[in-house]
Amino acid sequence: MRKGLNMQRLSGLDASFLYLETPSQVMNVAAVVVIDPESIPGGYSFSSLRIEMDRRVRGLPMLRRKLADSLTNVDHPVWVEDDDFNIERHVHRIAIPAPGGMEEMSQICGHLVAQVLDRKKPLWDMWVLEEMADGKVALVLRMHHACVDGATVAEILGELATSTPEPPALAPDRVQESAGGASRSDMAVGGAVNYFLQRPIAALKLIPKTLPVPFEWIKRARSGDGMPAPFLAPRTRFNAPLTPRRSLAFAQLPLSDVKRVKDHFGVKVNDVVLAMAGGALRDYLEAHGELPEEPLVGLVPVSVRGTEENDLIVEGTNKVSGMFTRLPTSVADPVERIRVAGKYSEQAKGHHQGIDANILRAYAEFAPGNTLGSLMRLYTDRRLSGMHPPVFNAIISNVAGPDRPMYMLGGRVEAVYPMGPIFHGLGLNITVMSVDGKLNVGLLTCPDLAADLWDLVHGFGTQLEELVAAVDADLDKEEQADEDSGE
């Protein structure tokens, strides 16, 4: 018998990802974990891997809960325990077509990520991709953005992955934990109290706090000392309406090289990522004759975990805000580009830190489910994203994973490629995750916007090579200067 919790209602931000979903705007977050099956105790088989995943899910309450709603519920849906949970509905396998390389694997992943998850069961599944040319196995873990953010994905991977191949013991309290149930009357009464009583009070508290924000934003945007304003980004091929198709591309870079560059130029790892993204986008768009003169604008998700919350926000899974920053796409020299990336990033951080970190989440509580869903379908059908200036050009996320060897369901983890969703008019997601000394880069777009995504992801390696060469050249100059001074 599991211990049930009080009914947990989705926060407005969590629920918004449900309302915004359409067949061509799928709100899936995913991770492609490439493992070496040779290390699995007793050897690899799909059936034994699924049995072990079934056992692990018993200790992960988040993976056992599903949505519940009713016509009489005027507020956001709630989470309940899936009493009919069956691992066979969640863990599947598929063979990668010959020759079984990374591009063939990415094609399968693109097809999977484009599929909407079944809302009648817990919002996740895992696809085991076999027949890779090098004997490896890829695990594609798909989760809906309503139940995870970037930090949550890293936490789930951290719990599924262990420091040794041997299966871990499960925490008894996690096994006993349950999302419980929810009757229609409980949902209706609780939803009515939230909607008709608490929301108006929250609005009265929230509006005065946010009135100065747009005026300060416009002021700082005009002075060039802050985040760029929304809807002022230059248009690129990625800022167009989406089709239901998705394509992915991956790269893996040495984290030690990234840290060398960071230390030498006195910037942050995230600044190096932004510089690489800016340089790769510059080269890609320039090769197509589409490079805008003004800098592109990136949206960088920022975790607000640990920040002070208030009574305007319902506790939820997605604890994230967004920071707009210019990308150094107008700078040709790689060394100057990383310095400009650091400057843009510092300006954006200074501006973002002056805004209440939880404003986005607070306003999301007012998201009207049916109305927002209808408006999103109208926006999609009329292809309105191509009729207004882009809000920004790309989403760029940097997630820190465990800096140690990991074993996923017994298999040694070779790579973890993260992926986030894309939106109409915002059709490029760049997500990087550092794991065990490697920086794993995952790109997601719609192939009807860009059919050559691998050209763009290869640019990240090129950019890092140029920056490492610049570091080596500087060190050689310093060494030569020391020798000359000693003569």
Which residues are designated catalytic? Answer: 145
**Single-letter amino acid, residue 6:** N
Encode 428-461: b = buried (16+ Cβ within 10 Å), e = exposed: bbbbbbbbbebbbbbbbbbebbbeebbebbbbbb
Which pair of tokens denotes residue 428?
């490029």
What's phi and psi for 421, nearest 5 deg? -75, 165
DSSP 349-391: HHHHHTS-TTHHHHHHTT--HHHHHHHHHHHHHTTGGGSS--S
443 Cβ partners below 8 Å, 6+ apart? 248, 249, 250, 428, 429, 430, 453, 456, 457
Residue pair 342/265 in contact (Cβ under 8 Å)? The answer is: yes
Assess whether the previous peptide bond of 99 is cis (omega < 30° from 0): yes
- Euclidean distance between CA atoms 233 and 390, whole angstroms: 6
- Euclidean distance between CA atoms 392 and 426, whole angstroms: 7
CA-based end-to-end distance of the chain: 81
Burial class of residue 344 in the structure, from the number of CB atoms within 10 Å of its CB (0-12 exposed, 13-18 middle, 19+ buried): buried
119 Cβ partners below 8 Å, 6+ apart? 18, 66, 67
* Length reported for the chain: 487
Residue pair 413/435 in contact (Cβ under 8 Å)? The answer is: yes
Instruction: Count the alpha carbons within 13 Å of 248 in the hemisphere toward its beta carbon.
Output: 27
279 Cβ partners below 8 Å, 6+ apart? 328, 329, 334, 337, 459, 462, 463, 466
- Sign of the Cα torsion 114, 18, 184, 310 reads positive
Residue pair 409/52 in contact (Cβ under 8 Å)? The answer is: yes
Instruction: For residue 139, list its beta bridge partners.
Output: 33, 128
- Euclidean distance between CA atoms 276 and 430, whole angstroms: 11
Residue 330 CB neighbours (<10 A): 17
